[in-house]
Chains A and B, each alone.
Chain A
Amino acid sequence: MKIEDIKPAINHSVLMLYRVFAIVSLYAVLAGVLIFGLGSAFYAGSKTWVAPVILSQGDKETLDLTSKTLSTQNTIDELKLDIGKLENTAGEAQSHKAKLEKLLPAIDEAIAQEDQHKRETGPVLVSLDRQKNSDDTRTQGALIKLADVDATIDKELAAGLITKSDATQATMLLVKANGELTDSRIATTLLKDTIWEKTLPSTTYLDTLHKKTELESEIACLGIVIDSAQKQIATERNQATKLDQALKVAKQTPLWAAMQGARTNVALVPYENQAVANEGAPVYDCYLSFVVCRQVGTVKARFAGEQHATHPIFRSDLRGFLVQLELTDPDSAKSKTLFVGSKPLLF
């Protein structure tokens, strides 16, 4: 058999195969284009679709949130501990400051009383000192005169004019008078000391003033410590409050729910479709993306806060918020899109 004889049969077979392949391919391309076009047009106009997302403890975002939550809680605890320490420090400082502040009037009063006493006794002592000096001078004059008497006694005793006992008695009186003069001079000197203390500032007085200044300085330092501690307490308390609020907000997010449980079904609602995403609204899942639909659950909760995602069909940036879904068929969460409120095509 020649090749030319079987060539028509080969051609026919190849042509048949080619035509079958061509028809299938062309219809596939046509169907693909139509489906793509219809799908794009549908999702461009639909106001009920949402993009489901399954959250679980193992998700990167959930793990991130867990880590951040723990870190935040740790920070809050540290802040509270620090606030307690600062409050103790401030309280102790305030107590100490109060005690020191009570000392100041007593010191002032003592100084004032001392001043008053000095003012009162000082001039009197000066006057007495003058009088004493005068007395001492007169006494000394009298004793000078008695010096002749001492010599006279010895002579009179030797002359037998007086008895020995009289002489001794007279000598004793003379010695006693001298001793009294010396005592008087000592007293005068001591009086001068007293007058100096009463009329001029003493080192004790200055020491007291120095201590008073130190006390005032310590009180001022304590004031600064208290003020600084109170400011830090206010700052840290504010910080703790904010972190606490942030934690409260985080606890209202679906990721927190995912942290607590094994799996949480949520859906991103584009802002264009927010009107339908109310709590309790029915959720539909469809075959062939949006053709034959059945109810698979409801919207459980609506979360605040903007979320960004990629459009499941157009791959463009998408802005919206999350809702938590209560799904009777958990597999529906794996669909590319779900519909909220009503079936997209009424069947």
Chain B
Amino acid sequence: MLTFILWVLGLRLFLSLAKYAWSIVMRIGHPRLAGVKQDFSLEPTVAILLPCFNEGPDVYNSIRTILECDYPMDKFQVIATDDRSRDDSWEWLQKAAVDFPGRVVARRNAKNMGKSRTLIDASHVSSSDIILVVDSDCIFAKNTIRELVSCFSDPKMGIVGGTVGIRNPNTNPLTQVQTYVYFLAFDLWKTYENWTKSVTCVGGYLLAIRRHLFEQIEPKILARNWFGVEVTEGEDRYITHHALLLGYDTYVNTKARCWTNAPEKYPQFFSQQYRWRKSGARDLCMTYKLLWSHLGTVHPNGVYCSTIAPLTVLTFTLGIFIAPLFDPLFFLHPITLVISLAIGAILHLIISKRFPDQKISNPLAFGFFGFWWIINSFYLTVLSLLTFDFSDWGSRTRRQVKCLGQEL
């Protein structure tokens, strides 16, 4: 059994290394391999949906940078919705609506509804060609919107995303670690999936989707449930997955960038990682449930990324459960730290060269990432697999579990 697990781990490690190496090659040496045809003359109308919950003044800054984008003013609009925040977020939204008249629609849900329903409701306010979902603390670059919509020249392109950087990379070791995580997850990983235009999850921090596609998926989003319990998190992954199943391409334009605040405290970070992991676990279940639908519709690379790659986490979880039984000090072995630091050094070099604003002041923080990764793999995977009946707003706060048809 142990030998089998070691073989699987070894194979997965090899595939991961090969994948990341290929991603680096494409990212640095042959960007056209992972590119799409862009048409910068395209200027469809864009509705920027900005759901907000307990974001405070950050939401105002976010709206301000979005409105500063070099895209025709009459072609885009921010629809900001407060999901009954407990802080002064609503006041900041109202201020934005006053300060930027006609360009910002400030809304407030009658009751806390969760991100998915908030997005759907907000989408009904506008009739734009493109719906752009953003996180309420995201800071945009001036070309972000144009870079995103330029990728829709191909009618087969259903969803386009961007990459996200960290606004606070050097606040503490936690944010330093997340800089690496964000680069791996939202940039390097996406490059590999961009290769075949089958990105399995376009992050909800910057997700542009054709309206008709969104409306096509909307009923499915509303009907999402786990044996009757409404599912509210991971809508970005869910939308992307269904777009792929409907035969559309999905893509992340690495030139479309935004920046977000990474959690600075462990509980926030834990909640965020837990939400992401649960979203991935749910998606994996859905993938296997609809496996036959993938074949022939989704690119084989997309099928691989949806079916095999997520098993790495599960395999590692199994390995992490078993390894201490044979060698309790396995994870404190110097070679673990050395490998971790070696990977960190490579990432540090790439990040420092390509994204100077993301440069980490203490590259040894990657050693901490290795430690976190163990805990992450060990506990969060189990926790997420065993809490499918529980939904919340992730890193911001909790909300009550609500079953379909049951009012709060």
Chain A CB within 10 Å, residue with most, of B226, B326, B328, B379: B328
A63 to B388 Cα, complex, angstroms = 58
Interface size on A, residues (CB 8 A): 20
Residues of B within 8 A of A316 (CB): 329
| Binary contact track A13-56/B, C-beta < 8 Å → 1, others 0 | 01100110110011001000100100010000000000000000
12 residue pairs bridging A and B, Cβ less than 8 Å apart: A11-B227, A15-B228, A18-B388, A19-B389, A22-B387, A22-B389, A33-B378, A36-B328, A40-B328, A313-B328, A315-B327, A316-B329
CB within 8 Å for A22 and B328 given contacts A11-B228, A15-B229? no
Contact partners of B324 in chain A: CB under 8 A: 36
Chain A residues, Cβ within 8 Å of B229: 15
Tell me, yes or no, whether A160 is within 8 Å of chain B by CB. no
User: Is residue A271 contacting chain B, with contact meaning CB distance below 8 A?
Assistant: no
Q: Is B386 an interface residue (CB 8 A)?
A: yes
Contact residue among A14, A25, A33, A315 (Cβ-Cβ distance under 8 Å from B386):
A25
Fill in one digit per residue for B385-403: 1 if any A CB lies within 8 Å of its CB, else 0: 0111100000000000000
Known contacts A11-B227, A40-B328, A314-B328: A18-B383 contact under CB 8 Å: no
Given contacts A25-B386, A29-B382, A33-B378, 14 further A-B contacts (CB under 8 A): A8-B228, A10-B227, A11-B227, A12-B228, A14-B227, A15-B229, A18-B227, A22-B386, A25-B382, A26-B382, A26-B383, A40-B328, A313-B328, A316-B329
Nearest residue, chain B, Cβ from A36: B324
Binding site for A on B (CB under 8 A): 226-229, 324, 326-329, 378-379, 382-383, 386-389
Contact partners of B382 in chain A: CB under 8 A: 25-26, 29
Whether B328 pairs with A315 at a CB distance below 8 angstroms is: yes
Helix, strand, loop or mixed for chain A's interface? helix
Residues of B within 8 A of A19 (CB): 389
Q: Is A26 a contact partner of B386 (Cβ separation < 8 A)? A: yes
Q: Does the CB pair A15–B227 fall under 8 Å?
A: yes
Q: What are the residues of chain B within 8 A of A12 when measuring CB–CB? A: 228
Bound-state Cα–Cα, A19 to B387, Å: 8
Q: How far is the CA of A36 from the CA of B226 in the complex (A)?
A: 33
Least Cβ distance of A260 to chain B in Å? 36
The answer on a CB contact under 8 Å between A18 and B326 is: no
Q: A22-B386, A22-B387, A314-B329 are in contact. Are A33 and B379 (CB under 8 A)?
A: yes
B322 → A minimal CB distance (Å) = 12
- Which residues of A sit under 8 angstroms from B389, Cβ to Cβ? 15, 18-19, 22
Interface pairs A-B: 4 shortest CB-CB: A22-B386, A11-B228, A11-B227, A15-B227
